[in-house]
Structure 1
């Protein structure tokens, strides 16, 4: 039976190394700058969805598509400009480009990441490093602050 690590290695195109999660990206194993754990990322997602739901309730009498639109706008604008959403900030996470020479995520990367996140499927397919396809497509990574 194939494991998640086997599939991740296949998606990455290179065998899983001994570097651990984030090693192929040149990230530390733990501490600031290391890949964010899945539990924290999911908790941040829940926080962001609750915020989007409250805004949708206040402005649109809660409509599911309005909530999704608010969630998308929140993600695109905040990640593009600040590098984090409200949930990311609350849990000590930041989204940054995978190449250290680039300082900010920017609108294009933020838009790609946000739209694919809203489609859900790319966000639940991960590589060997635990990055979703939405992050791979946008060439971003979520790390600890």
Structure 2
């Protein structure tokens, strides 16, 4: 017979050590600049970027849905490649850094943006508080 305690154990999430520091397997510090960015900054920066793209689209392209999407992709590719942060991330003091491999940032930005547009990779996170679109690109969003 299965005990209720055993049945509910999987609901507590993946097993992890209580003293595990998020980002430590990526070589990131526990706190301060360079540490994993707090969760709330990521969706808020996404909303700021999307709002900026919608504003530009409304002013220049009559708010076309395709224009919104293409502007969002262009902003992500250009700003991540050249500055390491989108405008929304810059405002919220978040930076996207490579954490593994030697791939050029333009390719990382392309993989990261493409995976983010699929939505599901942005909703699944690793134990290092790294969404799958960052894990696929070999990047991490860190505090500035």
Matching residue of 1:35:
36
Moved over 2 A (4+): 1-5, 15-19
Larger Rg: 2
> Contact 2:130–2:140 (CA<8 Å) still a contact in 1?
yes
Match of 1:81 in 2: 82
Contact 1:96–1:105 at 8 Å: present in 2 too?
A: no
Deviations 1:3-49 (A, max 9, x none): 5841xxxxxxxx63433211111211111000001101111111101
**1:45 counterpart = 2:62:** no
Correspondence list, 1:1-145, <5 A: 1=8, 2-3=10-11, 5-6=13-14, 16-17=16-17, 18-99=19-100, 106-145=105-144
TM-score (norm 2): 0.85
Structure 1 unaligned regions, length at least 5: 7-14
Task: Please list the CA deviations of residues 40-85 of structure 1 after superposition, one character each: whole Å capped at 9, or x if unmatched.
Answer: 1111111101001011111221122221111111001110111000
Q: In the alignment, what sits opposite 2:4?
A: none
- RMSD, aligned CA: 2.0
8 A contact 2:112–2:134 mirrored in 1: yes
How many residue pairs end up in the alignment? 135
Name the SS of the counterpart of 1:141 in structure 2. Answer: strand
TM-score by length of 1: 0.84
Aligned 8 A contact 1:79 1:105 in 2: no
The answer to whether the 8 A contact 2:27-2:99 is kept is no
Whole-angstrom CA distance in 1 between matches of 2:140 and 2:106:
15
Using the TM superposition, give the Cα deviation of residue 144 of structure 1 relative to its aligned residue in structure 2, in angstroms. 0.3
Instruction: Tell me how far apart the structure 1 counterparts of residues 72 and 45 of structure 2 sit (CA, whole Å).
Output: 12
Partners of 1:39 and 1:72 lie apart in 2 by: 22
